[in-house]
Homo-oligomer: A and B are copies of this chain.
Amino acid sequence: MVFICSVATAQLPINWIDPLNEGVLQGRLADNDITGYNRLPDSVKSVVREPVWALGTNNAGVYVNFKTNAKEIQVRYTVSGALDMPHMPKTGVSGLDLYASNNNGEWYWTPGDYRFKDTITYSFGPVKENSHRIYRLYLPLYNTVTWMEIGVSSDATIEFQKEEESPIIIYGTSIAQGGCASRPGLAWSNLLGRALNTPVINLGFSGNGRLEKPIIDLIANTPSRVIILDCLPNLTGVTPENTERIDSLIQAAVYQLRASQPNTPIVLTDHSSGFNKNILDETDNTLYEQTTQAGLASFEKLKQAGVKNLYHLRNADIALDINSTVDYAHPNDFGMVKISDAYQRLIEQFLR
């Protein structure tokens, strides 16, 4: 009896696979001209500011889709940055997240056991086998994976999958990058990708989402289903000069994108915070609200100039409340769901 038990529980060797060798990373602009798990192509390194490049090595929104009949899925990896932030835990900054969809678009989630050591490990399962299930492994939101392997039992099969559909591209700030979700799948960009069952590319750069030309150039050259410009939280200011700066950046970005992608819907988004009389913070309220007003004026100008397929996501549609952020600027998971829901409602109006 003891012998039988020990045979039954003996584990087969693990077959470790480096997804970089498979060329199957999703959630980024292109597969060529790109190093490791970076989000930005090498070609822009010389034209973007240094912090934009550094944040582009973070893996926000990057994911891998695969099918496997394995009961357990293991991942081991190393990262180069700090593991957490005061307002965002290791699981969000440096962790992984494993969701799955079936063949009718329904989504599932697989909790993982994690160890944050020099080599970080996640173990997912045991799960019941289902041949229709496509797993989606999200990479860290605020850290840079330097090496990663996905492991399944050597008697299991694993088949990577790649979506070829045009993506929604999000250009944004720390909020779009995923601060401060408790795990990667809860960044609003990743929530939205699942809600719409559409590939999403996350170009959120913490503190550095400033509607800059090199990033607009990249977006312009990537055929997209929707382009979201959600940069106002990194363009805050109350001076007339700042209002002019915002207008100038928005006009330049929208006209350039419209020229290269005449029919792609473009969404301009208010600052998600501000306009809440139940939040007691005079300084930030003024800052956020005046910034949103400046963005709105620029949006109205574009509409009056006849720019088509231009949409506006209002602060009031997002409707963050007194429990939705960790520090007023950055949504917690509750706020992330609100932001994703608001985008979904808007986008479903024009995306069929």
- Among A39-47, A50-58, A152-160, A319-327, the stretch that binds chain B is A319-327
Binary B-proximity of A92-123 (CB < 8 A = 1, otherwise 0): 00000001100000111111101010000000
Most chain B CB inside 10 Å of its own CB: which residue of A107, A191, A326, A337: A326
A165 proximal to B (CB < 8 A): no
Partner-binding segment picked from A180-188, A232-240, A252-260: A180-188
Q: How far is the CA of A125 from the CA of B284 in the complex (A)?
A: 10
- Tallying the copies of this chain within the complex gives 2
In the complex, are the beta carbons of B88 and A280 less than 8 A apart? no
Q: Which of B90, B108, B327 is within 8 Å of A278, CB to CB?
A: B108
How far in angstroms is the closest Cβ of chain B from A214? 32
A316 within 8 A of B: no
- With a CB–CB cut-off of 8 A, which chain B residues contact A116? 86
Whether A282 sits at the interface, judged by CB under 8 Å, is: yes
Contact check, B278 vs A107: say whether CB atoms are below 8 A apart. yes
Residues of B within 8 A of A90 (CB): 86-87
Q: How many residues of A contact B (CB 8 A)?
A: 49
A337 to B322, CA, bound (A): 12
> Looking at the complex, which one of B84, B85, B191, B281 makes contact with A110 (CB distance below 8 Å)?
B281
B280 touches A322 (CB 8 A): no
In the complex the two chains form, what is the Cα distance from A90 to B109 in whole Å?
Answer: 26
Tell whether, in the assembled complex, residue A126 and residue B87 are in contact, meaning their CB atoms are under 8 Å apart.
Answer: no
Q: Does A270 contact B (CB under 8 A)?
A: no
For the complex of A and B, list the 10 residue pairs with the smallest distance between their C-beta atoms, beginning with the closest: A109-B322, A111-B328, A332-B333, A127-B280, A110-B280, A333-B334, A86-B90, A182-B332, A334-B334, A182-B326
A-B contact pairs, 25 of them (CB 8 A): A85-B89, A86-B114, A89-B89, A89-B180, A91-B326, A99-B322, A107-B278, A107-B322, A108-B280, A110-B281, A111-B325, A111-B327, A112-B327, A124-B280, A125-B280, A125-B282, A126-B283, A127-B281, A127-B282, A128-B282, A182-B332, A185-B323, A186-B323, A333-B335, A334-B337
Which residue numbers of A lie inside 8 Å of B, CB to CB? 84-91, 99-100, 106-112, 114, 116, 124-128, 180, 182-183, 185-186, 191, 278-284, 322-323, 325-328, 332-337
